[in-house]
Amino acid sequence: MGLKYKTSDVEKMVESFSSISKNKNNPKEVYNEMLKLIDYPVNVLEEFLHCMTIFEKKDQNYLKENYYGVIGYITLRLNFVK
């Protein structure tokens, strides 16, 4: 049995939420990005956002140097969501 959520899912969420944040004043762009997230259950998106708050205090260098570890950690967390 494989993982339900993969690193590509986490990267997709990162890109979508980043785009939403950058384009928050452009409703059409926000809408288009939200459509990319529609297949994920609310509790999975909530866990993703919770993970983002864990890493928000880390500086950009930490995140760049540990990118795959961070993505892996979030991927595991999403797969444990009930």
- The reply to whether 58 falls in a domain is yes
Taking residue 16's Cβ as centre, other Cβ atoms within 10 Å add up to 20
Domain that holds residue 39: 7-79
- The reply to whether 2 falls in a domain is no
pLDDT tens-digit map of 37-78: 999 999 999 999 999 999 988 988 998 999 999 999 999 999
pTM of the model: 0.88
The whole-angstrom separation of Cα 76 and Cα 27 is 32
- What's the total number of domains in the chain? 1
- With residue 5 as reference, give the H or E element that holds it: none
Smallest CA-to-CA distance from 33 within 22, 43, 49, 41 is with 22
